[in-house]
Chains A and B, each alone.
Chain A
């Protein structure tokens, strides 16, 4: 057995002498675990997460409205008739 193996063995022997903490469950532990399990196992989303999800929904709605209103302009971007887009923009400007 070389020095390193011997050193490891001595360290492990000493480490095993550390006092073992109490294995009892903390007060209310089982209640918390069971409540999480019955609630679906996942923690409740934070306020920040809820607000973020709502903001995302609002942003998507606004985006869809914008696309709907400007659909003709968007469509004309993919046609070969650029004058039609100019006409639509001019109409909107009036």
Chain B
């Protein structure tokens, strides 16, 4: 669990001196933050623990680049997002999501969502999440990232700018294009239901 009383600045200085105990304390402190990012952007076939380990190793290796101009947690979050983006780039993109690709549970849930005005029941949340993930896999890594941050993480443009380094115009353009592609994939999926 995160250590609430950890003096991060002092800990970072000790880690720079290759202090093992300080490094362990920093990992424990930052683990919830890193894991939250990993779980939001985790590509399939990559274990979350492996990806989290890679992120922490990058953080330690690049510690010399941290100048303290932003809070350490923000800098770590940016390293985590960049690492996830690299992993997503390495993953082959799904060309489309067809109705036939859905499991019986997912198809039933989606059918109910399409035909009614209601939001799916919480018991169907896992099926909904699976469909959302598979639809996001049809997008490019940057498009996927921007939609995840805006819609699932509910971040503001300013927060996304800090996390990714993209300017707000670029974020808006990417979000617009990503939504257009997502809409097309959803329409194609709906057409498959009628066949």
A-side residues, CB < 8 A to B, are 2-5, 7-8, 10-18, 21, 23-26, 29-34, 36-38, 41
Q: Tell me the complex Cα distance, A82–B35, Å.
A: 71
Closest to B148 in A: A12
Q: Is there an interface contact between B190 and A4, defined as CB atoms closer than 8 Å?
A: yes
Q: Is there an interface contact between B27 and A25, defined as CB atoms closer than 8 Å?
A: yes
Best-buried of B131, B186, B190 by chain A (most CB within 10 Å): B186
Q: Can you add 19 more A-B contacts, CB < 8 Å, to A14-B122, A25-B1?
A: A2-B183, A3-B187, A4-B190, A7-B114, A8-B183, A10-B120, A11-B120, A14-B121, A15-B131, A16-B125, A29-B49, A29-B53, A30-B25, A32-B53, A33-B53, A36-B53, A37-B61, A41-B60, A41-B61
Q: Is there an interface contact between A15 and B152, defined as CB atoms closer than 8 Å?
A: yes
Q: Tell me the complex Cα distance, A3–B49, Å.
A: 38
Q: Tell me the complex Cα distance, A28–B119, Å.
A: 41
A11-B113, A41-B61 in contact; A30/B27 too (CB < 8 A)? yes
The distance from the CB of B96 to the nearest CB of chain A, in whole angstroms, is 14
Q: Tell me the complex Cα distance, A4–B180, Å.
A: 10
Q: Tell me the complex Cα distance, A10–B122, Å.
A: 12
Closest to B31 in A: A25
What DSSP secondary structure best describes chain B's contact surface? Answer: helix
- A12 contacts which chain B residues (CB < 8 A)? 132, 151-152
Q: Tell me the complex Cα distance, A34–B60, Å.
A: 9
A-B contact count (CB 8 A): 107
Q: Is there an interface contact between B125 and A17, defined as CB atoms closer than 8 Å?
A: yes
Q: Is there an interface contact between B31 and A23, defined as CB atoms closer than 8 Å?
A: yes
Of B16-24, B69-77, B86-94, the segment with at least 4 beta carbons within 8 Å of chain A is B16-24
Q: Is there an interface contact between A33 and B125, defined as CB atoms closer than 8 Å?
A: no
The distance from the CB of B136 to the nearest CB of chain A, in whole angstroms, is 10
* CB contact list, B102-150 vs A, under 8 A: 110, 113-114, 118-122, 124-126, 128-129, 131-132, 135
Q: Is there an interface contact between A10 and B113, defined as CB atoms closer than 8 Å?
A: yes
Q: Tell me the complex Cα distance, A30–B1, Å.
A: 11
Q: Which are the 7 A-B pairs with shortest beta-carbon distances?
A: A14-B128, A30-B27, A14-B120, A15-B129, A23-B32, A4-B186, A17-B125
